[in-house]
Amino acid sequence: MAAHDPRLVRTLYRSLRLIRRAEERLAEIYPSDKIKSPVHLSIGQEAASVGVCDALEPDDVVSATYRGHAAYLAKGGSLPAMIAEMYGKATGCAAGKGGSMHLVSAERHVIGASAVVGTNIPIAVGHALAFRRQGRDRVVVCFFGDGATEEGVFYESLNFAALHRLPVLFVCENNHYAIHEPLAKRWATDRLGERVATYGMKTHLVPDADVFAIRDGAAAAIARMRAGGGPEFMECRVYRWREHVGPNEDYDAGYRSRDEAVPWMDGDQVARLAAMLEADVRAAVDAEVEAEIDAAVAFAETSPPPAPDALFAHVFAG
């Protein structure tokens, strides 16, 4: 296999490592009750967001879910604003009103997320329709989970996007579970790409969370989309290492075993890319990441809470 460009390895590693370490820190902080919202961690799943977002231009749009820390950060969303948001502070990316499930970054074109499964999909398609009508070559990436593919609106959105050849890359982060329900109890076949292909779009499967395969697949799809090739679909199989919601592991909860997780942990992309770097490069990245996280936590801790009258801003009724 050809060696990967060391600059690319460094870039992807930095993003993977930042997301991993930020979420590990959030998990440590969580029991203190400083974080005022539920947290759905992406630990173990980071490669999907990092690989895809590396293939995007700054102006491209990302639409994520309530499990959205990784996509928000991979697209360049501010870490201090993310942690402040989780603390419910005025400096949060949604002014402290949304919490972990509603990350947003207008500057980085991360559109507002929703806790309602599947609802970001038609909104992402709407953005792609707007770009098409404006004659712009910006693209939209829409992230969602395997459970979201069971929502009717997923299929309506595929159909509409394919019919109008809209520039949207649908990315399913298939972590094999919707809360505690495994795929085998939900789908008669796991051939998701084949189902999607019948709507008239190219589909891709990355079965092992390989961040380079995800990045290269996304880059090729996005280049075709910019040239008017219409939507594409990518399934990234990943594994959620922690509980569905919250900071802990839950291998004793009765719905899965640690044995199932072991091959995914052995294939961890953060460790894989760390091992590809020269020791001094890796140490420098790690130190930068820790300093960035320390500063972001300090920012959240010292930021003011929203003023009481902020309750009446951004509401429909006066």
Ligand X SMILES: Cc1ncc(C[n+]2csc(CCOP(=O)(O)OP(=O)(O)O)c2C)c(N)n1
**Which residue number places its CB atom closest to ligand X?**
145
Q: How many CB atoms lie within 10 A of CB 268?
A: 19
DSSP string, 82-151: HHHHHTT-TTSTTTTSS-GGG--BTTTTEEPP-SSTTTHHHHHHHHHHHHHHHT----EEEEEETGGGGS
Q: Are strands 177-178 and 168-174 parallel, antiparallel or unpaired?
A: unpaired
DSSP 171: E
Q: How many residues bind ligand X (CB under 6 A)?
A: 13
User: What string marks each residue from 169 to 208 as x (binds Mg ion by CB under 5 A) or -?
Assistant: ------x-x-------------------------------
Among 46, 60, 85, 146, the residue binding ligand X under the rule CB under 6 A is 146
Residue number with CB closer to ligand X (148 or 289) = 148
Query: Between 86 and 192, whose beta carbon lies closer to Mg ion?
Result: 192
- The rounded distance, in Å, linking the Cα atoms of 41 and 46 is 10
Q: Report, in Å, the least distance between residue 240 CB and ligand X.
A: 6
Q: Which stretch binds ligand X (CB under 6 A): 68-76, 140-148, 156-164, 310-318?
A: 140-148
Choosing from 177, 239, 241, 299, the residue that interacts with ligand X (CB under 6 A) is: 177
Q: How far is the CB of 40 from ligand X (least distance, A)?
A: 6
| Minimum distance, C-beta of residue 144 to Mg ion, in the bound complex (Å) | 9
Number of residues that bind Mg ion (CB under 5 A): 5
| Region of residue 148 (left: phi > 0; alpha: psi -120 to 50; beta: else) | alpha
- In this chain, which of 29, 50, 113, 178 binds ligand X, going by CB under 6 A? 178
Closest contact distance (angstroms) between CB of 41 and ligand X is 10
Q: How many helices (H) and strands (E) does the chain have?
A: 11, 8
Burial class (CB in 10 A: 0-12, 13-18, 19+), 71: buried
In the complex, the smallest distance separating the C-beta of residue 45 from Mg ion, rounded to whole angstroms, is 9
What is the H or E stretch that residue 291 is in?
A: helix 279-302
Under rule CB under 5 A, which residues in 135-174 are in contact with Mg ion?
145-147
* Interface positions with Mg ion (CB under 5 A): 145-147, 175, 177
